[in-house]
Chains A and B, each alone.
Chain A
Amino acid sequence: QVQLQESGPGLVKPSETLSLTCTVSGGSIGSYYWSWIRQPAGKGLEWIGRIYASGSTNYNPSLKSRLIMSVDTSKNQFSLNLSSMTAADSAVYYCTRGVTTDLDNWGQGILVTVSS
């Protein structure tokens, strides 16, 4: 059973860049799509973007100008960098596996708060 674990800062200052990493264990990161989803407190799910093991990406159009995703197959990790953070970006961030909407494995989530 593949397991995913998010890591990164729980607190980010406004205008700074959020960097999160997802470590995949129990299986190879190769030949799969990996996605990031976020959920503001008390609200619904928002798809951030996905990256294939080869490095090709698709991003949510609303976040595309601030978003960079990358993958490190040697470490079985993939990452998210979201710049110019504001309070509206405060949320629980999840990493997941799946091609599009068939997201069958999820990390436990990491709470990110944007505050000075």
Chain B
Amino acid sequence: QSVLTQPPSASGTPGQRVTISCSGSSSNIGGYYVSWYQQLPGAAPRLLIYMNNQRPSGVPDRFSGSKSGTSASLAISGLRSEDEADYYCAAWDDSLSGYVVFGGGTKLTVL
């Protein structure tokens, strides 16, 4: 059971816009930045979004992030076949002594 809640799956057709949600609480998303990671099959995760909506260099602007209250979202516009991957959200959680929590991951299928 992950601290952050994501839908297990999402899908879309090429060119579509898809959003993936991430729900938390006041001890994590509600008080801290959210990051998103993309993990292609057999590869290490890659940072996609940090500080809620910032993209590292090299990440296409088709990827965007937002946060409101204790929830966050990742949006992918102009969906491409190479976007088929697992996506994870993450945030700092200040319960106990503080640690990083991840969502359970969302498997994105490009139909």
CB distance from B71 to the nearest CB of A (A): 16
Tell me the residues in window 33-62 of chain B with beta carbons closer than 8 Å to chain A beta carbons: 33-35, 37, 44-47, 50-51, 56
Contact, CB under 8 Å: A44 / B104: yes
Give the most central of A37, A46, A94, A101: most B CB within 10 Å.
A101
With A101-B33, A107-B44: A58-B97 Cβ-Cβ less than 8 Å: yes
Contact, CB under 8 Å: A106 / B45: yes
Can you name the residue of chain B whose Cβ is closest to the Cβ of A46? B102
CB distance from B53 to the nearest CB of A (A): 13
Interface SS majority for chain A: loop
Contacts of A87 on B, CB cut-off 8 Å?
Answer: none
Tell yes or no: A61 within 8 A of B by CB: yes
Contact, CB under 8 Å: A45 / B102: yes
Contact, CB under 8 Å: A47 / B103: no
Tell yes or no: B91 within 8 A of A by CB: yes
Give the most central of A45, A47, A94: most B CB within 10 Å.
A45
Tell me the residues in window 29-64 of chain A with beta carbons closer than 8 Å to chain B beta carbons: 35, 37, 44-47, 49-50, 58-61, 64
Contacts of B18 on A, CB cut-off 8 Å?
Answer: none
With A44-B105, A45-B105, A61-B99: A101-B91 Cβ-Cβ less than 8 Å: yes
Contact, CB under 8 Å: A101 / B34: yes
With A101-B91, A103-B35, A106-B44: A58-B50 Cβ-Cβ less than 8 Å: no
Question: Can you show 23 pairs from A to B with CB atoms below 8 A apart?
Answer: A44-B104, A45-B37, A45-B88, A45-B102, A45-B105, A47-B90, A47-B100, A47-B101, A50-B100, A58-B99, A59-B97, A60-B100, A61-B99, A94-B45, A100-B92, A100-B100, A101-B33, A101-B91, A102-B50, A103-B35, A104-B50, A107-B44, A109-B44
